[in-house]
Amino acid sequence: MKRLLIFLCTLFGVYVTSCKQSSSKGIIKVVSPKVVRALLAENTVQLVDVRTPKEFNEGHIEGAKNIDFFSDTFDSEIKKFDKTKSIILYCKSGYRSAKSSKKLRHAGFTEIYDLEGGITKWKKKGFEVKFK
C-alpha cells in the first residue's frame, strides 16, 4: 500500500512538472466552453475570433477581437497581441482556430487555448453571444 501511494505521488509530480514545462513551450490546450467562460471571468486573457467579419457580426463572444484567418493580414494582426499573456482562439467549429493556434505557437505565444467545438458548441451549451 505504501509503495502504491509513493508511486501515485511520484506519477502526479511528474504529470504536474511536465504540464508546466509544456505550457512554457507554447503547447496548445483545447478546452471546453465551460473552461473558456471561467478563463474569461478572470479578465486576464485575450480573446480572438478567427472567423470572417460576416460570421463575427452574426454573433460572437463578448470581448472578442475579430481577425479573419483567411485575411492576408492575419499574421501581422496577430502580432499585435501580447505573447506573454494567455490567448483564447475560436472559430465556428474548431478547424480554423486549430490552424491559427499553430501559427501563434510558431510566432512565440506561450499560453494558447483553443475553444473546443468553436462558437457552435459555445451556443449549444447555452452561453451568450453578442451581435454587432
21 has a pLDDT exceeding 60: no
Whether residue 104 is contained in a domain is answered as yes
Q: Are residues 30 and 88 in contact, defined by beta-carbon separation less than 8 angstroms?
A: no
Q: Give the per-residue pLDDT at 132.
A: 75
CB under 8 Å to 124, separation ≥6 — which residues? 117
Least confident residue range of 2-11, 31-40, 45-54, 78-87: 2-11
pLDDT digits (tens, 9 = 90+) for 35-68: 999 999 998 999 999 999 999 999 999 999 999 9
Whether residue 13 is contained in a domain is answered as no
- Which helix or strand (DSSP H or E) is residue 5 part of? helix 2-24
Q: Among all residues, which ones are annotated catalytic? A: 91
Owning domain of residue 61 = 25-124
- What is the average pLDDT across 6-21? 42
Whether residue 93 is contained in a domain is answered as yes
Whether residue 52 is contained in a domain is answered as yes
Query: What cell does 92 get?
Result: 465556428
16 has a pLDDT exceeding 60: no
Whether residue 96 is contained in a domain is answered as yes
Whether pTM exceeds 0.75: yes
Report the number of distinct structural domains present in the chain: 1
Whether residue 15 is contained in a domain is answered as no
Strands 28-31 and 87-90: unpaired
The domain that holds 99 is classified in CATH as: 3.40.250.10
Which pLDDT band, with edges at 50, 70 and 90, does 129 fall under?
very high
Whether residue 132 is contained in a domain is answered as no
Whether residue 60 is contained in a domain is answered as yes
Q: 108-118 b/e with 16+ CB inside 10 Å = b?
A: ebbbbbbbbbb
